[in-house]
Structure 1
């Protein structure tokens, strides 16, 4: 078994939290589950206990970046999956991640393929198709990439790495999410990690379902214009300013309702 934990940053009262925790407890390779929250509610402890999760409360509520960092800090393992509270992890997620880590011990992150779940149905969107193309453009058929150039190439035209499907070597990377960002915390983190040592590993199997819904942070970010602003900032960190603006404008055309 790998040195791994699932950490679940719980914000507010999600109707899907119990289903997420149940999917983590049903893994064919079991890992500790940590439920972390700065916005607890009556019954949260009972939900954690029912699904074998350790509940960690922290304060104050300073936003999504703070929640993610606090959840990672609560883990006692080198490898951590920041599991999103609305998502579902298929039974072999941890086992397949463990196999990828065993085959690439210098990896800094491992991520799997995923499916989008919207209104109870799996769906394929223009943005999801674009992400698949970007992934193949970065990996060129390989299971892992190690050099900075290919890792940056993977991220230059958008963020195809699905955050809830990522397992991080937090000890090696010493990663902290930027708490000033509201939507692109993951893209920013992967860009910074691309400059470090360690491989990015891609497991080409759908091993989790990412739930898209109208109350998500990404959806709110699209409606408020935050996502467009942060996307532009990410592109400007990778391209000259005029080209970054063109890419950001093109990227925004693929935004969909539900925040994919």
Structure 2
């Protein structure tokens, strides 16, 4: 019998193909990326100049949403799926600053993210932070892996920020959301962001097409109606479905073509 060959983590990282987590890191001003990521990212920026604003707005939305959940909503557990590369204002940092006993599990399937997981695996003494390698397309596997760090009998904030847009089949994306939310109790919350060709994002269509031809994983935009369908049966937290840049933001915030919403399971 031939022994299975374990591929070292660093050998799984492709430096010759642009990858979303690293390009996103580039747009946020980070250094954890390769020349190919910067080249593709800059080409997308040339085609759709506001993409950097989208990345920054998505990150700022995360901070506002987590502060609300850990504070006013009293949520002490966070399941952050598709976390991406660590940067300033990670979920555990924001949550534990507000509530030091918060417990966070990060999920990603990008080997580059796993290499940097040590930067995520820090925690306040009162709380806990964990990282698991898994694909959002396998929610059942994720749910089995989060315990004992998370207690699924207590409310959890399930976070899918800029993640479902990499699940091209809408029925599959809806299945992921339903499976996760069916597994958590009343009082849990769903936190979503998703790119759209609405909200002034029409110019992003050509950039997305370029991305799908030159980078990985492929991406899709969705309409407001498609985004709203992910939230069916949940109670929207004010102000509902808006550009993520304007969710509980200061007056005059610039709109970006990225929907954002927080919703509560009754």
TM range (shorter): 0.3 to 0.5
Report 1 or 2 for greater relative contact order, CA contacts < 8 Å, sequence distance ≥ 6.
1
Please state which structure has a larger fraction of its residues in strand.
Answer: 1
After TM superposition, the score normalised by the length of structure 1 is: 0.33
Give the TM-score normalised by structure 2: 0.32
